[in-house]
Amino acid sequence: MAATKALVLNSLNDQSASSRIGAVNASYLIADMDNDIINAFVNTLNTDENINVRLAALEALRKYADDEKVRKALIASLSIQDKPAMQIVLIDLLVQLKDKRALAPLKKITEDEENIDAVRDEANYGIFKLS
């Protein structure tokens, strides 16, 4: 397991997006993700330039959404994401998790004129479902 963990952490910094996605996929072989991997995935979710890598990191974190640290990171990520696809998938996840702490960031999304209508509509739907 230590070798897999090292591979995952090292590959997340690779130049190739496909290698970074491979690193996320390799994490599924690890029985219990520790803080190092969770932190690496949160960082990847929030900073990777490739949306497919960010989506893969989000899917990996979804498995650990019962963890308070992961939930807080997902909620915080709402304010960071700027790609409509990422915003919509993240909103959908937080609504599925029924986490009312997402209400304030969702409200900000609805008020931000720079967000496209589909994202603001999804945020409004999320507010409706969580209220």
Q: Give the span between the Cα atoms of 53 and 62, in whole angstroms.
A: 14
pLDDT band at residue 116 using 50, 70 and 90 as cut-offs: very high
Model pTM score? 0.90
Do 60 and 71 have their domain in common?
no
As for how many domains the chain has, the answer is 2
CATH number at residue 85: 1.25.10
Specify the amino acid at residue 10.
Answer: N
Could you report the per-residue pLDDT of 74-114, keeping only the tens digit for each? Answer: 999 999 999 999 999 999 999 999 999 999 999 999 999 99
Per-residue tokens: 38: 């969770």
- Scanning the chain, the segments in alpha helix (DSSP H) are 2-11, 17-26, 35-47, 51-62, 68-78, 84-97, 103-111, 117-130
Do 85 and 42 have their domain in common?
no
